[in-house]
Amino acid sequence: MKPQWMLACLLLCLSSLPALHAETDATMKPYEPTAEESPVSKFGWQRYLTIDKFGREITFYLSKRREQGSDPLPLAVAIQGSGSQSVFLEHGEMIASGGPESVMARDFRERARVLVVEKPGVEFLVQPSRPGSSEEGSAEFNREFSLLRWTEAINAAIRAAVKLPGVDGERILALGHSEGGQVACEVAAANPKVTHVAVMAGGGPTQVFDFLQLARQGAMYDPNQTPQQRVDTFLEDWNRVLEDPTATDKFILGHSHLRWSSFTRSSPVEAILETDARVFIAQGTADTNSLPASAEVLYAELLARGRDVTYERVEGGDHAFMTADDTTGKGWFETIGKAMEWFLAGSG
């Protein structure tokens, strides 16, 4: 379950929930935005639809300004972490969003337009019993969820959003948390219009490196086994992925073979080095999901090449940048806020 403080990031009161939307409009064109009413429209978000290069209908949300302004604002794209859950969820009689987009929109709505994309195959408000996992995802979600196709969905939303009034398409941030950190790098590699990338606890080398280290440390598999036995268990799982890399109905560690094989063919380091984007890295030193050593690799590779990189190292911070005595989400709010301030510096 998401912590209470994350649910409180953005609470939207609703009396009833209409259907998601009608069938795809055959007149829609690729990368053209079509506005659509939704339960969140009156609470600071506007839902849009567009078509990507694969012919899929992509749903995205763009934050509304509290006050009407004539000057276009920079575009800040929030990319969620792993799993088949919707961006939004029901919380009692309310709707909440606990991802980075909630902090970005709440605190920076008048300085940036915030965009968040629903993963293809995920219906509005759907929440699996294990958020972060794909095992309860729809068949469509697991067919569609590869690194290439998710990257295209996000870039389709970006290409549509920059055509809307009030959006400055010359200054674009891709900010991703956890899995989203790698995706943010891929989005920038595929879209030279992305000027800034924030990798929030998103690793550096391929995630296989993290798994090997976590297995040795006892954070994965049977803690009563020796480090090498745990590594051998991981290698058995990994060989099953390699034997059937495109399977969408076979899972290890909560995700399909297709997801793992596509995501591990690249890495944040490889992707970001294909770009000219400025980079912000945030990493908690007590994170056991994305290893601090992986963030150090990303930072070192960028430093070695003279890239414009900022590193926010959160001492004692976990995967959400929270220390042991942080019960309110202060680390989460502050770290995302620092990334946004970094992005917006000098933008007026």
Helices H, strands E: what count in the chain? 11, 14
CA angle at 248 for the pair 78 and 290, rounded to the nearest 5°: 45
pLDDT of residue 94: 78
pLDDT of residue 322: 97
The confidence band for 133, taking pLDDT boundaries of 50, 70 and 90, is very high
Looking at 177-329, list the stretches that DSSP marks H as alpha helix, in order from N- to C-terminal side. 179-190, 207-217, 227-243, 257-263, 268-272, 292-304
The residues with which 60 forms a beta bridge, in sequence order, are 48, 117
Instruction: Determine the 3-state secondary structure of 74 from DSSP.
Output: strand
Using a cut of 0.75, tell me whether the model's pTM lies above it.
yes
pLDDT of residue 14: 32
The confidence band for 146, taking pLDDT boundaries of 50, 70 and 90, is very high
The confidence band for 26, taking pLDDT boundaries of 50, 70 and 90, is low
The confidence band for 38, taking pLDDT boundaries of 50, 70 and 90, is confident
The confidence band for 141, taking pLDDT boundaries of 50, 70 and 90, is very high
pLDDT of residue 117: 98
The confidence band for 91, taking pLDDT boundaries of 50, 70 and 90, is confident
Mean pLDDT of all residues in the chain? Answer: 91
Check whether 9 has a pLDDT greater than 70.
Answer: no
Q: pLDDT of 293-305, one tens digit each?
A: 999 999 999 999 9
* Mean pLDDT confidence for 69-73: 83
Domains in the chain, start-ordered, CATH in brackets?
A: 4-206+266-344 (3.40.50.1820)
The confidence band for 40, taking pLDDT boundaries of 50, 70 and 90, is confident
Check whether 341 has a pLDDT greater than 70.
Answer: yes
